[in-house]
Amino acid sequence: MEDEAPGNGTGNAGAMGKKGVPEWLNSSLWASSSSPPASASTTAAACLFRSPPSPKPEAPKRAPIPEPGSPPSPKPEAPTRASIPEPPRPPQPPSEAPRPSVEAPPDDRSPSRLSQEEVSRQSQLLAELSKKVVNIGELRRLASQGIPDDTGIRSIVWKLLLGYLPYDREFWMQELAKKRSQYKAFKEEFLMNPSEMARRLEESAGHKNEELETGGRGFLMRSEITHDEHPLSLGKTSVWNQFFQETETIEQIERDVKRTHPDMQFFCGDSSLAKSNQEALRHILIIFAKLNPGIRYVQGMNELLAPLFYVFRNDPDQNNAAYAEADAFFCFVELLSGFRDNFCQKLDNSVVGIRSTISKLSELLKKHDGELWRHLEITTKVNPQFYAFRWITLLLTQEFNFVDSLHIWDALLSDPDGPQDTLLRVCCAMLILVRKRLLAGDFTSNLKLLQNYPQTNIDHLLYVANKLRGSSAG
């Protein structure tokens, strides 16, 4: 099985002596094609959290696993899982007692749609969520393994991970009510146009306006305006002036919202659902831009908002789903608080900016796979900015299909130190998984590959990313 011997004669004689490929990476287990390792890696992933595995003993196990056929092999890999339509699951509100067994899937696409390990994960998550005070460390640990789809758990877990919901279940109701009414106030404050504002002021001041139909003739009464409040005002404090200055931002937001996930019915199309969702996204982004004049709106924020809103809107709890907009707003703010520096152009070259993050990725790759690093950056001169910029600023939402990116976000959000570390590890893992192709390619083919990253098994990817945690090169 050791056909890809280390030092794969790419002509880099110098590399062989120094940092070879780490031993654990050598197993064909990490080959980039998705199907054979898929089933193995599930069990591998399952084993990971029970006892640290060594790759070699797995290899012989691989043979028997695909044989039995039905349970693990139609074990849906991430891509096919996405294509299976949502079976109607009974809603699982977190307040209910945990259900230890999985519901029999209503459609019998495969006898056990969830593998054993997923079933246990789901029940563990439910158990954790039903406790009075959630143990956030435990929740993070469970979430980092992935949250089962279609169960509505993800909505609550993400809200907990992002700090929107307090850990003590008792305070959920009041905290939610408070935040939701705060959002409502924001909407009233920021989404009004100056005409309406002027009208409200008038009404509160008790002015009557002329009615056209009261008959009679006469000159219409003129009244003075106060504070230079007319539509053509150029004053800095004029609401009209501010309104017009913001139209550019608002137009940009509208354009981006219209092109968010054009392939998804949820976001795009003529249905009233899509329109109302777009409207909600728009409101959130406009309010965020107005509340943060330093950063306003930058293209790409819509991509970070979309998964949050999608997950919350699809919460099986109708009440929560109805307030998805408010919840998504606060979670978006929280998520962005760690990443806002990436969006600020002035900080690009600073220690916290995007360039420095990209160079951290570079360092990470160098540490774990020096040969690949050298080949990429020096031999083929693929500057990481060409591919990593989008990976990092958009948190990998554009590299995988929607369902896969939700899984990746499970892992990212569960990191107690903030998503950035996990993000960099996942990016590094992405590079390592296609190393064979990268090492064989030149600038053009490598760039093409990295900018259109091939579909992968996400569990596998996350497993590799996890392996990179803290380990030094082998």
Q: Measured from the CB atom, is 148 or 194 closer to another protein?
A: 194
Are the C-beta atoms of 134 and 169 separated by less than 8 Å? Answer: yes
**Which listed range, 1-9, 124-132, 192-200, 457-465, lies at the site for another protein (CB under 8 A)?**
192-200
Q: Measured from the CB atom, is 85 or 216 closer to another protein?
A: 216
Residue 190 makes contact with another protein by CB under 8 A:
no
Question: Which amino acid is residue 10, in one-letter code?
Answer: T
* Residue 89 to residues 4, 106, 400, Cα–Cα distance (Å): 45, 8, 26
Cα(375)–Cα(361) distance, rounded to whole angstroms? 15
Of the residues 63, 173, 205, 234, which one makes contact with another protein according to CB under 8 A: 234
Residue 378 makes contact with another protein by CB under 8 A:
no
Q: Which two tokens stand for residue 324?
A: 């998805």
Angle formed by the axes of helices 272-291 and 239-258, nearest 10° = 130
DSSP 8-state secondary structure symbol assigned to residue 152: S
β-partners of residue 168 are 133
**HEC sequence for 89-139:** CCCCCCCCCCCCCCCCCCCCCCCCCCCHHHHHHHHHHHHHHHCCECCHHHH
Residue 237 makes contact with another protein by CB under 8 A:
no
Residue 283 Cβ, how far from another protein at the closest point, in Å? 18
Residue 202 makes contact with another protein by CB under 8 A:
yes
Cα(449)–Cα(465) distance, rounded to whole angstroms? 19
Residue 215 Cβ, how far from another protein at the closest point, in Å? 6
Residue 194 makes contact with another protein by CB under 8 A:
yes
Residue 225 makes contact with another protein by CB under 8 A:
yes
For the chain, the first-to-last Cα distance in angstroms comes to 19
Residue 13 makes contact with another protein by CB under 8 A:
no
Q: Measured from the CB atom, is 213 or 263 closer to another protein?
A: 213
Residue 188 makes contact with another protein by CB under 8 A:
no
Residue 224 makes contact with another protein by CB under 8 A:
yes
**SS3 (DSSP) at 357:** helix
- Kindly give, in sequence order, each residue whose CB lies less than 8 Å from that of residue 222, ignoring residues fewer than 6 positions away: none
Counting Cα atoms < 13 Å in the Cβ hemisphere of 41 gives 27
Q: Which two tokens stand for residue 306?
A: 């979309």
Count of residues interacting with another protein (CB under 8 A): 32
**Which listed range, 178-186, 227-235, 266-274, 324-332, lies at the site for another protein (CB under 8 A)?**
227-235
Other CB atoms within 10 A of residue 44 CB: 19
Q: Measured from the CB atom, is 204 or 223 closer to another protein?
A: 223
Residue 338 Cβ, how far from another protein at the closest point, in Å? 36
Residue 259 Cβ, how far from another protein at the closest point, in Å? 23
Cα(71)–Cα(134) distance, rounded to whole angstroms? 33
Are the C-beta atoms of 117 and 72 separated by less than 8 Å? Answer: no
β-partners of residue 133 are 168
Residue 218 makes contact with another protein by CB under 8 A:
yes
**Which listed range, 179-187, 218-226, 313-321, 465-473, lies at the site for another protein (CB under 8 A)?**
218-226
Cα(164)–Cα(138) distance, rounded to whole angstroms? 17
Cα(211)–Cα(179) distance, rounded to whole angstroms? 42
Of the residues 247, 318, 452, 472, which one makes contact with another protein according to CB under 8 A: 247
Residue 204 makes contact with another protein by CB under 8 A:
no
Cα(294)–Cα(168) distance, rounded to whole angstroms? 34
**Which listed range, 23-31, 48-56, 224-232, 450-458, lies at the site for another protein (CB under 8 A)?**
224-232
Residue 222 makes contact with another protein by CB under 8 A:
yes
**Which listed range, 41-49, 106-114, 206-214, 462-470, lies at the site for another protein (CB under 8 A)?**
206-214
Residue 223 makes contact with another protein by CB under 8 A:
yes
Of the residues 63, 205, 232, 351, which one makes contact with another protein according to CB under 8 A: 232
Q: Measured from the CB atom, is 118 or 246 closer to another protein?
A: 246
Of the residues 67, 86, 211, 270, which one makes contact with another protein according to CB under 8 A: 211
Of the residues 18, 199, 200, 275, which one makes contact with another protein according to CB under 8 A: 199
**Residues in contact with another protein by the rule CB under 8 A:** 193-196, 198-199, 202, 207, 209-213, 215-225, 228, 230-234, 244, 247
